[in-house]
Amino acid sequence: AYYVSGEKNLSPLLDALYGDKNKEIIGHHFKRDLRYRLREDEKIESRIFDVTQAHYVIDPDGNHDFPYLCAKYLDFTIMEKDKKDPPLSEWEEEKALNYLGERAICNFLLAEGFKSELLGLDLDSVYAKMDRPMLKILAQMELNGILINKEYLKELEGEFENQIFLLEKAVEDSV
């Protein structure tokens, strides 16, 4: 875990972290971090373990919110950042360290538990071969956006309106 206060050039640190195939980076909701790296056209070679994504594999219908996962699996309530709070860069250093430190520890502990659980459920290959690679793909898709065929959707809207009209008419005629 790293905490760097102030305006510093983080590129060398991030390049060393994300550029090493032998390193594993553990976190939650990694897509936003990956989007930043992709937007800056920076490489991502390291292995990613996203506890949120892993939990989707373990319990697809469960709650995947990070504070919830910490409470459920670690019996720990993490400090939360309110939308009204100033940016983290404006927090007192000790408060920022506590906030980020809690998250780092919880991410590590959740990752260890979820890796064991994935193995026990025989889902480790599902995460490694399907879900983990999808993180980069989804981040790239969110970064690029999607194209919408407005003409086709307008045509489809007309067809659906016609079907609704016919269904409403059939209901009225049957009463």
- Residues contacting 50, CB < 8 A, separation 6+: 27, 28, 29, 30, 132, 135
CB 32 within 8 A of CB 7: no
* Average pLDDT value for residue range 45-61: 94
Residues 78-115: tens digit of each pLDDT: 999 888 989 888 889 899 899 999 999 999 999 999 99
Residues 6-33: tens digit of each pLDDT: 667 777 888 888 888 998 989 998 888 8
3, pLDDT greater than 80:
no
- Alpha-carbon distance 171 to 165, whole Å? 10
For residue 60, report the phi and psi dihedrals to the nearest 5 degrees. -55, -30
5, pLDDT greater than 70:
no
Tell whether pTM > 0.85: no
* Average pLDDT value for residue range 114-139: 93
Note the pLDDT of residue 6.
63
Note the pLDDT of residue 4.
67
Following DSSP, what letter does each residue of 155-172 receive, concatenated? HHHHHHHHHHHHHHHHHH
- Alpha-carbon distance 135 to 127, whole Å? 11
- Alpha-carbon distance 140 to 143, whole Å? 5
Length of the chain: 175
* Average pLDDT value for residue range 113-136: 94
164, pLDDT greater than 80:
yes
| pLDDT bracket for residue 42 (50, 70, 90) | confident
Q: Where are the alpha helices (DSSP H) in the chain?
A: 11-18, 31-39, 51-58, 66-74, 93-120, 124-126, 132-144, 150-174
Helices (H) and strands (E) in the chain, counts: 8, 2
- Alpha-carbon distance 159 to 130, whole Å? 37
2, pLDDT greater than 70:
no
140, pLDDT greater than 90:
no
Note the pLDDT of residue 127.
93
Query: Would you call 81 helix, strand, or coil by DSSP?
Result: coil
